[in-house]
Structure 1
């Protein structure tokens, strides 16, 4: 733990700990040091504070990434910032333009951001503090780039698709004894706070499951099992567009409830400056959600025939897996939507397939090796 552990969170309010993150970072503390301290103090992470909007994120502890996001978010200065992202139309498959395009959001460089002339809500940190943090981050990035030569790239076949059964986080590639391993490191502070019986490090050697996984894929998508696989997926079809629309409508309703509460507080004699700031922020959020709702594609049902057609296309990819090198395997596994979960105490790996467009949308086949 860092030297300031336990003594720099005066309250558990978001305003206190966000300001504390900036001040402690400026004292020289790192992402992980701050994240561990926040977790140990029992302060909820952003995803745990709003679990409805963060069902896909780990809510047990603060992550380094969450700390970094707060340190790079200009809204904590009280200013509104626009044009941080843009939308690009990308072909789904450059080899088959008939499949159409998908919209991808890309980050603009900071010189393209547009800042409001005046603050629109209460500031948690000053603009000067925010700029000092950005300068430190930029200096660190340049220093790492110039001082550390890129190591020889190691191929990991299960890059990004292997998860730890204890904490459900992605396992990281680790090259050891000329072999690919995967590991999950879980700081003791996280385990204590969450009452989670997680070993300090979980290891899995790639070769222990590689042939089994390829064999399972070949069996499930092979001619003898293809119809069974299609039937299983047909029973579990969930159109992600429908889930997105439902989530957006729920969040819009939540904004409406907040606006009613804020106006009631204003009528009751609350601080108008503070409440108007809340109202403006919620209105801005509601406008953004309305834009996403209008841009979201309509929900569609997928027929068994469509699943069969798309699965047969996926099957062509599966036949290539066994012969591919590790880098190509990683791309193929991602394209298939493969997800592996390792349960060390059972010596068991659960395999699931969740293919994405242009193949099959949010359907799964469950199995194990």
Structure 2
């Protein structure tokens, strides 16, 4: 009997709920039981771990690798076997995938039909479609059960459901986990207890708002008084934030959080699955967090942790906020959606924060409103508004990338990349010193907060805190500006990376906005707009290889439109 080489495909959802090794073993055992009596032997394996079944094959790493290997005439296998189609296909994924196997003449074997699937057999097609529907139904049933259980835990038990505690509270141990299996693993239950210093700040924020002070005025007062912002108060859990000043968004988040009344409140947000591309539904969905109206919130029946404000004061604040044109319970959903090619990729050179997309005069802009969001009572100098138009950047970025990765400039670009690695190595010592300074600032800030709680003069301590926060900001800015140190690559490694990147760059000129945005992301593009120079610095860093950095163009960007230009007013 001739031997038939097979590729095996399998999938396991999460490492938390299932053992990937055990799942892979039983799926491959089931596959071998099907093919070995026919002379089949597995010579290649493709196994996705921690990938939801709802993710289409082209977006699963190993499933995508299998589909790509089908195109390889020297692939090394003549058939594919799936031990559990219920795990491999979801919804209509079978109908979108089997034509690819049929096109390349690769039979797909599954135990449910006792051998290879016949695409022209209606019974086979029905069986596989049923399994896709069952897989989708099982996932939906799990979601309903989980949401129902969490809702009951919040309402009837008032249980703390995880996540970071709200500013004003800290976590306290509440005994063994109620689930016996988790308790046996040493997991504990938690509850909220007051953080006296932060709780007093929260109470003061509610009081000031009820007295008529605005969000920005409250943020200004807190910053001027040297009160650490929520991210500065708990820097270990907020390493992604600078903590240099209070933001009015932080004040708003506090006064709209119902948990300060002592009740557990769940379902303020929900996860919606939305199409990635409405013109290409085969790409599947992505999950987005959205805010629910207060009518959909789930409140605990009883007060389950120490309240900071009364329910009456909380409701009064919501009514006052609504009367000012603010949001009573959450954030309004945007009614219009515009494509932003550089979303998440462009940063402000003055503060190193991501710039926000803004549609104005039928054109996309990016803006940084740091002073409008954060209190000005700090030592950071920043223009009032920073605007830059998208169409001033994208064409020049495409031309720059095209020149950089053009075939006739390969050697020149490789020289730039090699030199960039040398520069990165020489700057590593400065990064080490910045990290040491950051750690020292955190240590001193903790000491100052302890002194404040012990009864030291608040005015003196506030001065100490401001000095240390200023030093910390400088150190954090240095760390954010510099890429993480990576393994230095050989010239051959860089040449191979350039070949892959060059293939993507050649698609930029004709790509649609959504696909162009994905290509920029794959290239690891990061843009930093310097308003004082009106230039953009671009760096390109792939997942594995540092690609160096240089200016987008020799002449820089043209000045923005005067009406929406960079304002230097304070």
Gaps of 5+ in 2: 1-195, 329-334, 425-493, 552-570
Give the counterpart of 1:163 among 340, 344, 347.
347
Contact 1:351 1:366 in 2 (8 A): no
Alpha-carbon distance between aligned partners in 1 of 2:258 and 2:359, rounded to the nearest angstrom = 38
Alignment partner of 2:528 out of 328, 336, 341: 341
CA distance in 2, matches of 1:177, 1:87: 32
Deviation at 1:142, TM superposition (A): 8.4
CA-to-partner distance for each residue in 1:12-67, whole Å, 9 max, x for gaps? Answer: 93122212222333344333332233222222111111222222224212222212
Q: Structure 2 CA distance, aligned partners of 1:29 and 1:114?
A: 30
Q: 1:154: Cα distance to partner?
A: 8.2
Find 1:367's aligned residue among 541, 549, 555: 549
Q: Do residues 122 (structure 1) and 306 (structure 2) align? A: yes
Residue number in structure 2 paired with 1:216: 400
Query: Is this contact kept in 1: 2:541–2:548, CA < 8 A?
Result: no
Deviation string for 1:133-163 (max 9, x for gaps)?
Answer: 33444552589xxxxxx99x98765444321
SS at match of 1:212: helix
**What is the 5 A alignment of 1:309-324?**
318-323=505-510
Verify the 8 A CA contact 1:230 1:311 in the aligned structure 2: no
Partner of 1:6: none
Gapped regions of structure 1 (runs ≥ 5): 1-11, 144-149, 237-306
- What aligned pairs does 1:183-194 form with structure 2 within 5 A after superposition? 183-187=367-371, 193-194=377-378
2:264 match: 80
Alpha-carbon RMSD across the aligned residues, in angstroms, is 5.0
Q: 1:34 aligns with which of 215, 218, 226?
A: 218
- CA–CA separation in structure 2 for the residues paired with 1:23 and 1:58: 27
Q: What's the counterpart of residue 9 of structure 1?
A: none
Equivalent position SS for 1:321: coil
Task: Select 1:19's aligned residue among 203, 209, 212.
Answer: 203
Normalising by structure 1, we get a TM-score of 0.55
What is the rounded CA distance, in whole Å, between the counterparts of 2:216 and 2:313 in structure 1?
20
- 2:373, 2:221 → 1: CA distance? 8
Could you list the per-position Cα deviations for residues 202-245 of structure 1 after superposition, in whole angstroms to 9, with x for gaps in the alignment?
4545555433322233356666659969999xxx9xxxxxxxxx
1:60 aligns with 2:244: yes
Q: 1:331 to 1:63 in 2, by over 3 A?
A: farther
Question: Structure 2 vs 1, CA of residues 312 and 25 (structure 1 numbering), >3 Å: closer, same or farther?
Answer: farther
Q: How many matched pairs?
A: 278
Distance (whole Å) between structure 1 residues aligned to residue 297 and residue 349 of structure 2:
40
CA 1:111–1:364 in structure 2 vs 1: closer, same or farther (change >3 Å)?
A: farther
Counterpart-to-counterpart distance in 1, 2:256 and 2:218: 15
Q: SS at the partner of 2:539?
A: strand
| CA deviation after TM superposition for structure 1 residue 313, in Å | 8.3
SS at match of 2:381: coil
Q: Is the alpha carbon distance of 1:114 and 1:173 closer, same or farther for their aligned partners in structure 2, counting shifts above 3 Å?
A: closer
Distance in 2 (CA, whole Å) between partners of 1:107 and 1:188 is: 23
Q: Deviations over 1:290-327 (max 9, x none)?
A: xxxxxxxxxxxxxxxxx999998876664443345778
In structure 2, the partner of 1:47 is 231
Mark the CA change 1:32 to 1:188 in structure 2 (over 3 Å): closer, same or farther.
closer
Q: Is the 8 A contact 1:191 1:197 kept in 2?
A: no
1:192–1:331 Cα change, 3 Å: same
Which structure has the higher relative contact order (CA within 8 Å, separation 6+)? Answer: 1
Equivalent residue of 1:42, what SS?
A: coil
